Structure 1
């Protein structure tokens, strides 16, 4: 079984949470429908450590370096990929991260992402597409 090691972040600023609009998945030939999710991505060999991996992913997906890691969550987001993907499963280590910028620097640098936006907590739960991500939020009691 091929397991993809990944990182993700619940990014907040004041009472809002940052999501990215994902329109493509480079690990599959299959098209995906666009959906909103937390910034997430695979750990790469060039990443010095897991904290470095999440900061790199945030830079790639949002265009910004204005982040401060608050903590690593104990819970992970795990799911199985559909057939046709490069991997069978993904295990995502999640971080709680504060965005410290003025939002002027937010613009995706990644071909998988076409929009970056902040949402209130109420709208967040309705906007998140993936069931595994919503379940994670219930577990951490955000």
Structure 2
């Protein structure tokens, strides 16, 4: 089974992009498993068939940044798709993931984010010149290089 997910390319006027530092993930039973810290764009799974992609995106942004003050600008035509390593597949119950991405802007006036979800340790804005060096996953680097930067 392929996990359906959503992700945010949150950009500031100066071109900086928001990244989150992920330190945990969920197994198929909902247990949180510690992992090596890695920087990525805010993203996560669509929880039910009743949740739209846009609703899932705003929920994920709130969980990962502590703020619901986001405006969806557009949806990207391309997706990030990958297969999980076999050892991960067994733990999470998914063979791979297909992530629908959206361009979003922060409409709040406080740039200090406090994640609600303990999967995320911190958030930070990163310049487009440095982002590829910081992002952990090759699929995300490729997407950013081809469609965003």
TM-score of the pair, normalised by structure 2: 0.87
SS in 1 for 2:51: coil
Which ranges of structure 1 fall in alignment gaps of 5 or more residues?
A: none
How many aligned positions are there? 141
- Following superposition of structure 1 onto structure 2, how do residues 27-38 of structure 1 map, counting pairs within 5 Å? 27=27, 31-38=34-41
Q: Which moved more, 1:116-125 or 1:98-107?
A: 98-107
DSSP 3-state at the match of 2:91 = coil
Aligned partner of 2:12 in structure 1 is 13
Q: CA deviation at 1:30?
A: 6.0
- SS of the residue 1:103 aligns to: coil
> What does residue 94 of structure 1 align with?
101
Moved over 2 A (4+): 27-32, 102-105
TM-score if structure 1 supplies the norm length?
0.91
Separation (CA, whole Å) in 2 of partners of 1:47 and 1:61 = 21
Report the CA distance shift for 1:110/1:30 in structure 2 as closer, same or farther (over 3 A). Answer: closer
Question: 3-state SS of the aligned residue for 1:138?
Answer: helix
- What CA distance in whole angstroms lies between the structure 1 residues aligned with 2:58 and 2:145? 24
Extract unaligned runs of 5+ from structure 2. none
Q: Does 1:114 align with 2:117?
A: no
Q: Give the root-mean-square deviation of aligned CA atoms.
A: 1.7
Work out the CA distance in 2 between the residues paired with 1:30 and 1:123: 29
